[in-house]
Structures are given as structure tokens and as C-alpha cells.
Amino acid sequence: MPASRFLSSVVVCALFTLGLVPIATATADDATTTPAPVQILPLTTSTGEVTEAGEAGLDGTAASAPQETSPAAEDDAASEGSEGEGAEKADPAAESDTDSDSQGEAAEETSPAAEAEPASADSGAMVVPAVGGAPADSSADPLADAVVLTDPLVVDDFLVAGFRWSGTDTLPEGLSIYLRVREDGSWTPWYEGADSGAGKDTGGVAGTEEFITGGADAVQVSIVGDRADLPADLALAMVPADPSGEETLEVSDLETTQAEPTQVATPDAAHEETAPDPAQEASPGPTAQEASFTTPLTTTAPAALPAVETAAATAGVQAANVDAEVGQAVQPAIVAATTTAGSLPVPVHTRAEWGANPSYMTWSPEYVSAGHVVVHHTAGTNNYTAGQSASIVRGIYYYHAVTLDWGDIGYNFLVDKYGQVFEGRSGTLSAAPGTMVIGAHARGVNTGSMGISMMGDYSSVSPTSVTLDRVGKLAGWFLGRGGYMNVNEVAGILVRTTEKYQAGTVLQLPRIFGHRDSGATSCPGNVGYSLLGTIRSIAQKQAQISGRSATAVGWVNGGGSWFHYASPGVLTLGWLKDGSRWYYLDPGSGAMATGWAYINSKWYYFDRGSGAMATGWIYVGSSWYYLNPGNGAMATGWLKLGSSWYYLTPQTGAMARGWAYINSKWYYFDRGSGAMATGWIYVGSSWYYLNPGNGAMATGWLKLGSSWYYLVPQTGAMATGWAYINSKWYHLNPRTGVLDN
């Protein structure tokens, strides 16, 4: 173990919700990484014999296993005469009967062979698989049943892990590999490292799917099954944030640590961590709240103020409100993701932006016709930060390209739980409509499909809404560009390997399907798989948009929103001047803004019918607002137009009407026009005097010409009749308020 240990600093990214404007915020996580070697922990030799590291934990199994499940612990309890409850739980006969029954039931209901693979499929046979079938969950105890078990080992920090071995692509039947890691001082549940079901259709090294973490510094490995079935050269690879070279770990140099018993992570048991939903609703814009008034308001139609909420359309454009468009919340990013090549509906981090090392790539892109999308998850924990995502993608890239010898990352796109999208397989963004570069994400059906992986484990927790939104839009974009306008249709895809189906079989699958539908895997997790309907719904709307964009120029309506294309396939983003009117196209999706939108720290209003930016006075809800005629930005505070003053509430921009308390003074604004009043005004049943110079309400004694008046200090109302002021009585004319001499 090297003396220097890899440390990474984590900077928490703030999530901003700025209306319809997604602005990437830089983080420092990746900026502070230091190159470190990939750690390789050998578990078996070239002949399949268990290494010293693989043997190390077997002697202490009984001591570290949970008492209620460990056979060793139960035997110890029996020898001490404490049979009781423990003996009842561990009754071998009872367990054997239960297992037998459950196994029979499982074989009847979920057997992969019964669901998916015909006994003798002819080449080219059409097969409609039992969609959603997944391998049965293992009930083995990784500690008590282990034939290979490492000690809990302290290692250098890593973000991605996975197992590789020589020989066949899949593990022998009945052999299961488990891994748990220590994150932030706590041990995770045991995760089963299933065969990836991914990889190149030909070539590469056998291995499991990648396991991602939020930063782990200790591991423990267990293998359950028949020791004679162990593959040769089985090893655990642990990839840091910035991989540089490889280091084979020697067990004699490794420090052991304590690890409390933890459960096996299954789809039936929720993980300790949850996937927080960073997707926020778009900011609603100014409200109709007004300043505090002393008397109820009766709103009348303003005199001489123009109405602007017209339905007249410009260039035939109409649009629905997109104020609360799903997935338009700001997502943090290491580098601003601005790539929208090929009219992508969401910003994408290119390989250059997330730091793909070109020296790892040994697999040249090959483009083929494609009309399916395969949805994946990466497995592992969900405890990563937004700033770690690019490092995790680099780790997956190394694991796929180098550790498993695929020559590149297998997925076409990766989407993290914050909605950040990363370009995966080289050539993905360069693919022409209706084609895709062959990936290594679903062995057997790589050719003819695009793979999108959700970063995290979605066996028992749900992907975030922003993740689902991004996956759906990417899928719809790909299918729509290819002319597949109905994403819910079922179509054939040719199987090219024999992992689950005989080579030459044509599977009839939905245009968007889960990895488990074509491979012997549980990917994309039970919860992730259950949400494919949501993904398809989002994709269907996007497909309609992207399908029209291939030849469209100018305004295009799709999915309830309007979009503008400067040329075929080139989506207009940001500000657009069309004729004499200004429009705003969301930088993330390209959707035309309507209603209130918060852009670069200013509020704007876009006509809900035409989408044109409003200027001057507008009436929205129950309030008037003023938008700068020069740039459309909403005004706040004091405003002078001609000879009249107005006050626009700073918090909302709404025009004040009636009484308003501003900077410790009272003012009165005409209830109709909103113009500030001066001089005498009659409100309610009282007279008030407002300073002709600044409009502030007068209080106390007031002399106008040769006449004196008294304005009650607490209210400003003019006094009449007898008034007791400063310990003296005065008489004020009951009709005029003038002090009688």
C-alpha cells in the first residue's frame, strides 16, 4: 500500500431554481483530484485457487456474522445450552422444507429459462420475451456461506469498483459475488455483483457491472457457491477519481479494520441512503401581492393605461404555459454543459468536458441503423455529490475501456441523479438521425440500440424526477430523429450472442426497454424498471418535437410547446428577435417561454398566446406591472412617467394602489391609475393632506395660506370639532377643518 493516500475534498453544490433558465454552477470536487493508481485485489490465481487475500476472512466468519443467521454462531449457542429461540430459528429441517417449497415456487413463476429462452430456437426465430423477467434474488449469507472472504480491508479512496475474471463471460451457475464498502465511516449493505450483461458482442474481459460509490476507503468481498467453480484470475478493481496506472495489492501490506454486520441489499429492502430529488419547480414569477393598506381596496378599471394581455399571435405562434416545465430546475455541473449538437433537448457534457482520456480508447466507432433504446442503472450506492459525477464517469470509462478491455465506455449516455447528462461512447453525438454508434451496454443487442444509464442503484429507490425527464427526452430525441414517432410500439431487434437467447433470434421488444428484457440481469433495478412507462411518456412528447426538427425551419409546435429552428436540426436557444418582437427559448430544452420568466436576475413577461416579450404596462392576475420599454425588464420601486409618480412593490413588481407605507412614510396612490396623489384627498370618511413636493402624508399642525389645520398624528385624518391637543382644547370648523380664532 503506498504511503500517500488519496484524499478528495467535497464541495457541496448549491441548487438554484431560476425560473426557466438553467445555469450550471461550478464545483471544486474534480478540480482537486490527484492522479492515483487503480487498485487491483487478486482473489483467485490463474488456476482458480483462492489467494491469501481471499482466504483471510474465513477464520473469523463466526465472530463477525449476525447471530440470528450464522450457522457457526448457532452451533456455539447450542453447545452452551442456549437452544431456545435461536434453535427454533435455525431448525435445519424447517429451513430445508421452506427452501424446497420456495425454490419450487420460484422455478414455477420466475425461471429465466421458462420465461425467455426456447428449448431449441431456430436461427432467425421471432421471440416475444416475458418482458421484465429478472434473476431470482439470492438468499445466501455473504459471511456464513462464503467460500472466499476477505478481511475488511482499508484501501485508497475510490469511486468505481468491479470484478473481472478469465474464461466465460458469465459466472458459473450458483456462484455469487458480494461486495460492501465503507463510505463516510459507515458500511453499506452487501451488494451482489451480478454479471454485467453488458460488454462488446465480441472480445473483452468477463466481469460484473460497475459499482459506484460516493467515495469509499475500505472494502470486503465474499463469494458464495462451489469453490471448484471459481473462475481464474478473479480480481476486484477499484478506480479512483483520476486513475493513473494500476497497482496490484499485496495482502501483507493491507490494513484490516472492523466491520459491523450488515444486511444483503435486495429489491425488497430499502437502502439506507435515499436518492434526493433535486428537481425543483420553476419559480412562479411575481405574485399579485400589494403593499399594506389601511382600508379595503375596490379596484376600478385604470384610466389611460393600455391593456397588453392580447391573444394576437405573431407568425402564427401559439404556446402553452411552460412556467413549470419538468426538469428545468438548475443542475450543478463541473463545467457548463452547453452542448446541444443535433438539436439535443437537454445540455450534455461532452467527453472533452468530463475529461475522457483518449489513451484509453482502442475501439473505433462503427455506425449502424438503430431504433431501440435500452435503459440501465450503474448499481452501487446513491451517495455521490453532483461534483463527483464527472469523476465517476471517468472511473466507469476506465473500468469499461481498460479493466474489461472494451476499448471505450459502454453506454451512449449517462445521467446522474441531479439531471446532469454525460456523453458516453465516442461517436454518440456524431451519429446521424436513425443511426447510432455500436456500444457495449447490452451484450447481444448492442447493434441497433442506444444505451442510457442512470447513475445509481434503483432496485429499491426511485430515480429522481429530473433523471427520468432527461432519460425520457434523450430517448425521444434519438427515436424521433430516426422517424420512430411512436415510442410505445413493439419492434424486432436481432440477438447476436448467446447469453440469454440463441444467436439469430429476433426479439420483439418496445422501442424503449429495460436491460433485463434482453439480458440475464436485474438492471435497471425493480423500481427503475417500473418507471419505464414514465420514461416512455416523456419520450413520446420529445419524439414528436425531434421528429419534426429534422427538416423544420422556423417555428415548430411539439409536445404543447413552441420551438424555433434557425436551420434544419439547429435549435434556437436564448433570446430571439423575430420581426419586431423578442422571444426567449429555454437554453436547456429550446421551449418558448410564456408568462413570467426569471432571466439573468431580472423578471420578464411573455404573452401567453404569442410568446412575445411584453413592454410597458401589463395587467396580470389582479395587478399592474411595468416592463421597461427598452429591454422588457420588470421595474420595481419608484417610477416617474410624464408628470406622475408610481410605486412598484420591490418584492413583486405589482403597482401600489391605495395607501402604501414606504420608507416610514404613508403615501396614497389612485385606486384606478396608480398615480401618486398630492394635496387634499378624501378617503373613506376623512380628509388627508399629501405633500405636493413628495406625496408623503402630513401629520400634526398644517398651515396653508392663512388657515391652520390639524392632522391626527396616528392616522393623518383631518380633525374637526373640538380637539384636545398638547393639553389644550381647540375648535376646528366641523365642515372645513380650519382652526377657529
- Alpha helix segments (H runs only) across 219-374: 351-354
Task: Work out the angle at residue 464's Cα, subtended by the Cα atoms of residues 463 and 466, and round it to the nearest 5 degrees.
Answer: 125
List the Cα angle 699/705/710 in 5-degree steps. 25
Q: Are 577 and 590 in contact (CB under 8 A)?
A: no
Q: Cβ distance 125 to 505 under 8 Å?
A: yes
**Separate counts of helices (H) and strands (E) for the chain:** 11, 40
The total of other beta-carbon atoms located within 10 Å of residue 735's CB is 7
pLDDT at 277: 38
Question: In the predicted model, what is the mean pLDDT of residues 401-410?
Answer: 95
- Residue 383: exposure state from Cβ atoms within 10 A (0-12, 13-18, ≥19): buried
Kindly give, in sequence order, each residue whose CB lies less than 8 Å from that of residue 267, ignoring residues fewer than 6 positions away.
137, 459, 460, 522, 525, 526, 527
Is residue 626 over pLDDT 70?
A: yes
The C-alpha atoms of residue 637 and residue 650 are separated, in whole angstroms, by 5
> Which pairing describes strands 421-423 and 413-415: parallel, antiparallel, or unpaired?
antiparallel
For residue 195, pLDDT beyond 80:
no
CB atoms within 10 A of CB 318: 16
- State whether the Cα torsion 74-77-79-85 is positive or negative: negative
Q: Which residue has the higher pLDDT, 116 or 649?
A: 649
Q: Which of 76-90, 178-192, 412-426, 482-496 has the lowest mean pLDDT?
A: 76-90
- Secondary structure element (H or E) that encloses residue 98, with its range: helix 92-110
Q: What is the mean pLDDT of residues 516-527?
A: 91
The single-letter DSSP state of residue 55 is: H
C-alpha span between 441 and 449 (Å, rounded): 9
For residue 446 the three cell numbers come to 448492442
Residues 194-215, mean pLDDT to the nearest whole number: 83
Choose between 36 and 17: higher pLDDT: 36
d(CA 102, CA 173): 18
Is the pLDDT reported for residue 558 higher than 60? yes
d(CA 501, CA 522): 16
Give me the pLDDT at residue 119, please.
33
3-state class of 21 per DSSP?
A: coil
Q: Summarize pLDDT for 44-54 with one digit per residue, the tens.
A: 999 999 999 99
Provide the mean pLDDT of the chain. Answer: 78
Distance CA 670, CA 657 (A): 6
Identify the band that residue 500 occupies on the pLDDT scale cut at 50, 70 and 90: confident
pLDDT digits (tens, 9 = 90+) for 94-134: 333 434 343 333 333 333 333 333 333 344 566 666 555 44
Whether the CB-CB separation of 181 and 393 falls below 8 Å is answered with no
Amino acid occupying residue 360: Y
* 345 has a pLDDT exceeding 60: yes
For 445, the grid coordinates are 443487442
Say what percent of the chain tops pLDDT 90.
60
* CB contact set of 621 (below 8 Å; sequence gap of 6+): 287, 288
Secondary structure letter of residue 218 according to DSSP: E
Per-residue pLDDT tens digits for 660-683: 999 999 999 999 999 999 999 999
Contact 600, 606 (CB under 8 A): no
Higher pLDDT: 481 or 479? It is 479
Report the pLDDT value the prediction gives residue 341, as an integer from 0 to 100. 64
Backbone angle region of 560, left / alpha / beta, with phi > 0 → left and psi within -120 to 50 → alpha:
left
pTM: 0.61
* Predicted confidence (pLDDT) at residue 228 exceeds the cutoff of 90: yes
State residue 77's pLDDT score: 38
Q: Look at residue 296 and tell me whether its pLDDT is greater than 60.
A: no
Question: Using CA atoms, how far apart are residues 452 and 541, in angstroms rounded to an integer?
Answer: 18
Residues in the chain, total: 741
Instruction: State the pLDDT at residue 129.
Output: 65
Cell of 663: 420608507
pLDDT for 131: 58
141-183 pLDDT tens trace: 899 999 999 999 999 999 999 999 998 777 888 899 999 999 9
pLDDT(258) > 80:
yes
Tell the burial category of 486 from Cβ atoms under 10 Å away from its Cβ (0-12, 13-18, 19+). Answer: exposed
Q: Which of 58-67, 393-402, 538-547, 610-619 has the lowest mean pLDDT?
A: 58-67
Cβ contact 544:558 at 8 Å: yes
205 C-beta neighbours (distance < 10 Å), count? 16
Are 595 and 323 in contact by the 8 Å Cβ rule? The answer is yes
Q: What is the mean pLDDT of residues 437-466?
A: 95
pLDDT for residue 481 = 87
pLDDT of 334 strictly over 80: no
Q: How far is CA 598 from the centre of its chain?
A: 21
257 grid coordinates: 479494520
pLDDT at 485: 86
Q: What is the pLDDT of residue 139?
A: 65
Read off the pLDDT of residues 682-717 as tens digits, 9 standing for 90 and up. 999 999 999 999 999 999 999 999 999 999 999 999
Return the sign of the alpha-carbon dihedral for residues 388, 394, 400, 403. negative
pLDDT at 290 over 60: no
Is residue 479 a contact partner of residue 487, using CB atoms and an 8 Å limit? yes
pLDDT of 524 over the 60 cut: yes
Are the C-beta atoms of residues 282 and 329 closer than 8 Å to each other?
yes
Distance CA(46)–CA(532), nearest Å, equals 42
Pick the residue with more confidence: 560 or 526?
Answer: 526
The maximal CA–CA distance of the chain, rounded, in angstroms, is: 120
CB atoms within 10 A of CB 629: 8
State the SS3 of 407-475.
Answer: CCCCCCEEECCCCCEEECCCCCCCCCCCEEECCCCCCCCCCCEEEEEECCCCCCCCCCHHHHHHHHHHH
pLDDT at 559: 61
For residues 652 and 662, is the Cβ–Cβ distance under 8 A? no
Task: Indicate the DSSP class of residue 195.
Answer: B
Which amino acid is present at 258? Q
148, 222 contact by CB (below 8 A): yes
DSSP state of 515: G
Of 37, 38, 381, nearest to 214 by C-alpha is 381
CB of 718 closer than 8 Å to CB of 709 = yes
